[in-house]
Amino acid sequence: MSEIVQFVHHGAEQITPKILRGVHKKLPFLKMEFTQIKAPKYPHLVEQLEFLADVVEDFAEGAEDDLPFVAVASAVFALIYAHRQKDLIPDFVPDFGHADESAVVRAVLIEHERVLADYANRHHRNWSIITVKP
C-alpha cells in the first residue's frame, strides 16, 4: 500500500484551487458516472466515491471550509483518478478492473480517516458503511 500512498500524495500535491473548482463544476456528471460502476469485488467503491464527491462539494461551496486542504486535495485526486479513462488497470479487466480505483480511494480514506470520519458524523453519514475496506 506504500506505493499507492505515495502515488496519492504526489497526485494530491498537484491539486490547486483552480483544479478543485473545475472538479466541483463537474461533480453532478461525476456522481452520475460513478453510479454506473459495476465492481462486485469492490462493493464499497461507489459509496466511497460519492462520499468523497460530497466532501469536495461541501468544501468548494464553503459549507466545510475548515477541512484541511490536503484531505480535500486527496479526495479531488481520487475523483479525477476514478474518472480517468486510462489508468493502471483497465476497467474492463474481469475482477480486477477497479482494483486501482479502489486502492486510491482506500488510501485517501485511510490517510485522512480522522478528518473524514468526523465529516461523516457531522453529516449523519454512517462511516462504517463508507468504510476503509475494499
Cβ-based neighbour number of residue 46 at 10 Å = 18
The total of structural domains in the chain comes to 1
Point out the least confidently predicted range of 14-18, 29-33, 87-91: 87-91
Query: Looking up cell 471550509, which residue turns up?
Result: 65
Which residues constitute the domain of residue 45?
Answer: 2-130
The set of residues, in sequence order, having a beta carbon less than 8 Å from that of 102 and lying 6+ positions away, is: 39, 42, 45, 134
What average pLDDT score do residues 77-92 get? 72
- State residue 41's pLDDT score: 86
In angstroms, the Cα distances linking 45 to 14, 38, 61, 74, 101 are 23, 9, 24, 16, 8
Residue 93 has pLDDT above 80, yes or no: no
pLDDT in tens, 54-77: 999 999 999 999 999 999 999 999
Give 94's pLDDT tier (boundaries 50, 70, 90).
very low
